[in-house]
């Protein structure tokens, strides 16, 4: 498997942190919080319909979270079985509790990240090419976002953590480590690539300057305030933007997203998930993927279209093909895509975005596993 383009950035960005922690740092991903939370699964109707669930089939939910999608997959047809994966021990415990509500073996909780999927399924006796469908709900769960102690949100003060499975790997770097120890150039690169922040240089400079004006950044509100001030213009504009529904968005939103993606290595984990699922889904099985920002959706789209993940993202397919001479054998191989996209890109309805604002950026892509090995 070729190394995706963004891996190079991750390695370069971690150099200083590796020296600080005294070891090579690995990547981790996803989780939840527990009590007093009302969870609304995103695009639930569209997801269930797209999977084409039938009696006695076996599915894989790679992002269990609060279990909303899993519960409805199980209820969609008689005898359905679900393997529910999540990286967060809290979500895993929730899955274990939910499993008690079903006959033994109908809901099987799995603790691990996407890149650990193979050994986990092998341990459960699952054969390659045997699963009837899978769901990937990208990013972190709403419960995780709503828990200030996890450090993902801007609204309430909490430690600047953002690790999706800190309980499993407590020694890995936090978002605070990134903002306090990465150099200016690396911060700019992270903010541009992972946050798609057009004002990355201004934000990075403000973060670096803060190291000399105060103690290390430790809380979410400290970072949010620094970014807000940095992006405010001379007229006092806070630098806020608006979302797809016309509501104001905090100027630090993109910065927080960039840090979260880097700390959890989310893009590489998503790439691993889509690559591994080719091996575990049977021909004709369906894969539904919910993405919440353009970086995730771009990876999903490229996988479904059979585009080499090592290719630059800005080269049109027609130009890429025109620049390369293929042999007859290569042309046959080139046409043998692992996925057949089903239908157009789906977006949440206006009604859903009004009742569940966190669904507003969701994009659902569905593809069917082809018979190509």
CA 44/CA 66 separation, integer angstroms:
13
Q: Is the pLDDT of residue 113 over 60?
A: yes
pLDDT digits (tens, 9 = 90+) for 142-165: 777 777 778 788 878 999 999 999
Q: Is the pLDDT of residue 6 over 90?
A: no
Q: What percent of the chain has pLDDT over 90?
A: 65
Q: Which of 14, 30, 6 is nearest to 173 (CA)?
A: 14
Q: Is the pLDDT of residue 211 over 60?
A: yes
Which of 13-22, 114-123, 166-175, 272-281 has the weakest average pLDDT? Answer: 13-22
Backbone angles phi, psi at 343, to 5 degrees: 70, 175
For residue 318, what is the DSSP state? H
Q: Is the pLDDT of residue 315 over 70?
A: no
| Residues 243-262, mean pLDDT to the nearest whole number | 83
Domain 6-30+147-264: homologous superfamily in CATH: Putative methyltransferase TM0872, insert domain (1.10.150.170)
CA 207/CA 100 separation, integer angstroms:
48
Query: In angstroms, what is the C-alpha Rg of the chain?
Result: 21
Domains 6-30+147-264 and 44-142+266-369 share a fold: no
Which residue has better confidence, 186 or 249?
Answer: 186
| Residues 326-332, mean pLDDT to the nearest whole number | 48
Confidence at 254, pLDDT banded by 50, 70, 90:
very high
The long-range contacts involving 299-303, CB below 8 angstroms and separated by at least 24 positions, are 299/267, 299/270, 299/271, 299/274, 300/270, 300/274, 300/365, 301/365, 303/271, 303/274, 303/275, 303/338, 303/339
Q: Is the pLDDT of residue 123 over 50?
A: yes
The pTM score is: 0.82
Which of 23-37, 175-189, 282-296, 299-313 has the weakest average pLDDT? Answer: 23-37
CATH class for the region spanning 44-142+266-369:
alpha beta
| Residues 1-8, mean pLDDT to the nearest whole number | 44
Q: Is the pLDDT of residue 316 over 50?
A: no
Confidence at 251, pLDDT banded by 50, 70, 90:
very high
Indicate the burial class of 363 (C-beta count within 10 angstroms; 0-12, 13-18, 19 or more). buried
Find the helix packing angle between 253-264 and 220-231, rounded to 10°.
130
Average pLDDT value over all residues in the chain:
83
Query: Residue 330's pLDDT is what?
Result: 47
Instruction: Give one word for 129, left, alpha or beta, with left for phi > 0 and alpha for psi -120 to 50.
Output: left
In the chain the beta strands, taken as DSSP E runs, fall at: 58-61, 81-86, 107-111, 131-137, 241-242, 248-249, 281-291, 339-341, 363-369
CA 165/CA 84 separation, integer angstroms:
16
Q: Is the pLDDT of residue 16 over 80?
A: no
For residue 171, what is the DSSP state? T
Query: Residue 328's pLDDT is what?
Result: 52
3-class DSSP state of 83 = strand
Listed by start position, the domains of the chain span 6-30+147-264, 44-142+266-369
Query: Residue 173's pLDDT is what?
Result: 94
Query: Residue 241's pLDDT is what?
Result: 66
pLDDT digits (tens, 9 = 90+) for 96-110: 999 999 999 999 999
């Amino acid at each position: 498997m070729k190394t995706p383009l963004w891996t190079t950035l991750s390695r370069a960005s971690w150099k200083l942190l590796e020296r600080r922690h005294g070891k090579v740092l690995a990547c981790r991903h996803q989780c939840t919080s527990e009590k007093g939370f009302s969870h609304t699964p995103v695009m639930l109707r569209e997801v269930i319909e797209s999977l084409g669930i039938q009696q006695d089939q076996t599915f894989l939910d790679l992002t269990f979270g609060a279990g909303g999608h899993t519960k409805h997959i199980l209820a969609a047809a008689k005898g359905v079985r679900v393997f529910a994966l999540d990286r967060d021990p809290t979500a895993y415990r929730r899955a274990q509790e939910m499993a008690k509500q079903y006959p033994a073996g109908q809901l099987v909780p799995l603790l691990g990240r996407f890149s650990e999927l193979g050994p986990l399924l092998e341990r459960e006796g699952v054969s390659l090419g045997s699963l009837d469908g899978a769901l990937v709900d990208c990013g972190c769960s709403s419960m995780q976002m709503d828990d200030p102690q996890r450090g993902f949100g801007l609204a309430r003060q909490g430690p600047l953590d953002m690790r999706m499975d800190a309980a499993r790997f407590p020694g890995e770097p936090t978002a605070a480590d990134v903002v306090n120890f990465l150099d200016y150039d690396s911060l700019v690169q992270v903010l541009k690539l992972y946050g798609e922040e057009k004002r990355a240089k201004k934000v990075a400079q403000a973060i670096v300057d803060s190291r000399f004006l105060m103690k290390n950044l430790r809380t979410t509100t400290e970072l949010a305030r620094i970014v807000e001030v940095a992006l405010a213009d001379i007229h006092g504009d806070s630098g806020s933007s608006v979302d797809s529904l016309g509501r104001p968005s905090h100027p630090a939103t993109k910065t927080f997203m960039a840090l979260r993606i880097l700390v959890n290595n989310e893009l590489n984990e998503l790439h691993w998930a889509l690559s591994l699922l080719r091996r575990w889904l049977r021909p004709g099985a369906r894969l539904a993927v919910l993405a919440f920002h353009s970086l995730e959706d771009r990876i999903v789209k490229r996988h479904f279209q059979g585009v080499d993940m090592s290719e630059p993202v800005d080269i049109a397919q027609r130009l890429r093909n025109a620049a390369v001479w293929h042999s007859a054998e290569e042309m046959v191989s080139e046409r043998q895509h692992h996925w057949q996209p089903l239908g157009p890109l789906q977006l949440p309805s206006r009604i859903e975005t009004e009742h569940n604002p966190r669904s507003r950026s969701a994009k659902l892509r569905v593809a069917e596993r082809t018979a190509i090995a």
